[in-house]
Amino acid sequence: MSAYEDAFILSMGLLAGKSLLLHLAMARARVGSKTPALPEDGRPFPLKGLLQTVLLSDLKFGTHPDTVTRLAGLERNATENEPFFAMAAFAYGTVAGATSAAAPALVLAYTASRYAHVLFYVGVRAQPYRALSFVAGLGIALFMAGSVVVAKVSSAGK
């Protein structure tokens, strides 16, 4: 397995894990803040007490309604960006510049930027760092996608 493939697989695992943890944090924040996603979520149901216990929703940390809003924004942002990065990175690894020494670093830098984005969106809540972490990841994804297009257009003319 190449260094690029190793970096790509690690990145996909880290991004998937981050998204799954965000979903869990969102469920915890909604239950703890009593901010249901849908009307039926606010009504009692047989396993609600168990769900509250498992999610530790009685602990106030991370259950403020503002946290629900921020986590919803993060979930939306992740679903609007990370799948497209995965496609661009896969294609980049297949046709563009995955043989360069910098290619694995690009994949890992994207992943680091997405983790930093979470930190600055929910944790530290600091601009311009949140914007910079987003733009860094977006720039890497655009570079990879553009490299794929250039490589394919160049090879089509030969």
Using one digit for the tens of pLDDT, what is the confidence trace for 74-89? 999 999 999 999 999 9
Q: Is residue 80 part of a domain?
A: yes
Total of domains in the chain: 1
Note the pLDDT of residue 34. 83
Provide the residue range defining the domain that includes 67: 3-28+62-156
- In angstroms, the CA 78 to CA 118 distance is 10
* CA-to-CA separations, 114 to 14, 58, 61, 107, 146, in angstroms, rounded: 10, 29, 23, 11, 20
Note the pLDDT of residue 122. 87
Q: Is residue 128 part of a domain?
A: yes
- Give the CATH number for residue 15: 1.20.120.550
What count of other Cβ atoms lies within 10 Å of the Cβ of residue 29? Answer: 24
- Cα-based angle 9, 131, 88 (whole degrees, multiple of 5): 30
Residue range 87-96: mean pLDDT, rounded: 91
What mean pLDDT, rounded, does the chain reach?
89
Using one digit for the tens of pLDDT, what is the confidence trace for 25-71? 888 888 888 887 888 877 777 777 777 777 776 666 677 888 889 99
First and final CA of the chain: distance in angstroms? 29
